[in-house]
Amino acid sequence: MSKGLLIVLSGPSGVGKGTVCNALRGKMDNLVYSVSATTRVPRIGEENGVNYFFKSHDEFKYMMENEQLLEYAEYVGNYYGTPRDFVEDTLQSGKDIILEIEVQGALKVKEKFPEGIFIFLLPPSLDELKDRICGRGTETQATIDHRLSVAVDEIGLVGHYDYAVVNDQIDQACKRIESIVIAEHCKVRG
């Protein structure tokens, strides 16, 4: 059995990473979603163990200190991280795993797993990104402004990725990502 592919999907807050990942999971049978741990408060409708593993700051600190995270990052006052064992076990089983993480985390994963496939999801425009963040109805104006400022900086890091995909229409973005994964499975590795 061949090892699965580690697919890292990241991009600025509000670009639609979660929406695209959910759509991909419905289309790709061999794709497992990596559930991240976070210290942020759950949004309405989010479930522990499904959307995130919601942790207290103390619980998250314990995971950091005991190397139970593949990567972790602080973003807008909260911590996010990828549980290490789940990712490694999934890859060894031959399944592909997709990590939906912020840019800071993706760059840390790239240091440890340079053979991963790193995909940057771009918004059609900064105005569209602002509309998406505001449309959530869960953010204060100060948080929206901060997220947009961070987004501009993150978009400047797109050169660190293997692929860039514009999320103009969810179906089209998914088709592009599916094509990338198919091509990577056909790639002759040295």
Q: Which residues are annotated as part of the binding site? A: 11-18
Annotated binding site for ATP: 11-18
Collapsed DSSP state (helix, strand, coil) of residue 100: strand
Using an 8 Å Cβ cutoff, are 154 and 87 in contact? Answer: no
**Interatomic CA distance for residues 119 and 100, integer angstroms:** 10
Pairing verdict, β 6-10 and 117-122 = parallel
Smallest CA-to-CA distance from 118 within 169, 174, 159 is with 159
Residues 6+ apart with CB under 8 A from 35: 49, 50, 51, 52, 53, 83, 86
From the number of C-beta atoms within 10 Å of its C-beta (0-12, 13-18, 19+), residue 171 rates as: exposed
Strand partners of residue 56 = none
156 close to 82: Cβ distance less than 8 angstroms: no
